[in-house]
Amino acid sequence: MNRRTFVQTIGALAPVSAFANELQAQQQQQQGKSVVISTWAGNTKANEQAWKQLLLNNNALDAVHQGVMVPEADPEDMSVGYGGLPDRDGIVTLDACIMDHLGNIGAVMAIEHIIHASSVARLVMEKTPHVQIVGDGALQFALENGFKKENLLTEKSRKAWQEWLKTSKYNPMTTMDEIQKSIEKNHDTIGMLAINSIQNISGACSTSGMAYKLHGRVGDSPIIGAGLYVDNEIGAATATGVGEEVVRICGSHTVVEAMRYGKSPEEACRIAIERLVKIKGEAYCKKVQIGFIALNKKGDIGCYSLVPNFTMAVRDENGSRVVQSKSIF
């Protein structure tokens, strides 16, 4: 090859090289920051498990699923899974939902005898044409798919229930005091969100519901749009606290829609809180707690609650930390 031919060849390759460099730059820009967030400071261990899974395969759905399984299996966590406080009849029933970046959803409600309700919810999403299965049907579905039937009522939860029976008036609203006690101990529903390095978002939510509830009661946690919502173009949100009030405002969907119109995650969470206060009034809202956490497509995060003491656990490349939520009161 003479000099002229060599120069011509290099000149012809230059645009290709420039295009390759531009493509590489675009791909690097698309590599966003990964983050895992969950409701309550007590769920840092769950975040760690989710983070490990995220590093392993960069799958946000696997991450949130593995994360919520941690408190589900923890008998000391009396608001989720095994060891959860029972209903007024002494029966532990669980609720859970899961949602991925493609809009696939699955949920179980009022399921008994299965520790990992989130795993059953994922099977509903992946193995059935349905999005929700409830009660005995959910249990039947779980058993048919290899889950083991177990007693979820621990001795600790049984004693707490028996103590409650001494003064119980069988009014579901009397359980607000129990919820506040639970909140003060940083124990309540786990809602978890994760975004991976290619900006795909997933979420999961799991709970044993309101302590000493009426049998069959279902709150916000397994309801897509209330306890959890993911829109991969915008972001995601999840909720905790008194489920009836989250359902009232379609809470998590409200948060995501606020982000759609340009609000930051924290601002969006506040907008949802303000909507409930407008509907129910300050006097009522000062007596209950709901909190939201959210993240957007950029990986920005935020939270907000009705009353103080709500926290958000965070895990990212900088390590684990807890964010104290702002509150409207």
CA pair distance 191, 1, nearest whole angstrom: 65
Which tokens in the block code for residue 38?
A: 């969950």
**Catalytic residue check, 167:** no
Name the β-bridge partners of 98.
106, 204
CA pair distance 219, 251, nearest whole angstrom: 12
190-195 vs 319-324, strand pairing mode:
unpaired
Which tokens in the block code for residue 175?
A: 């359980």
The catalytically annotated residue of 154, 189, 207, 238 is 189
Task: Return the closest-CA partner of residue 313 out of 50, 31, 90.
Answer: 50
Which tokens in the block code for residue 274?
A: 């303000």
Burial-class residue 195 by CB neighbours within 10 Å (0-12, 13-18, 19+). Answer: buried
CA pair distance 100, 110, nearest whole angstrom: 22
CA pair distance 195, 32, nearest whole angstrom: 9
Task: Return the closest-CA partner of residue 322 out of 40, 63, 64.
Answer: 40
Chain centroid to CA 108: 14
Catalytic positions, written as ranges: 189
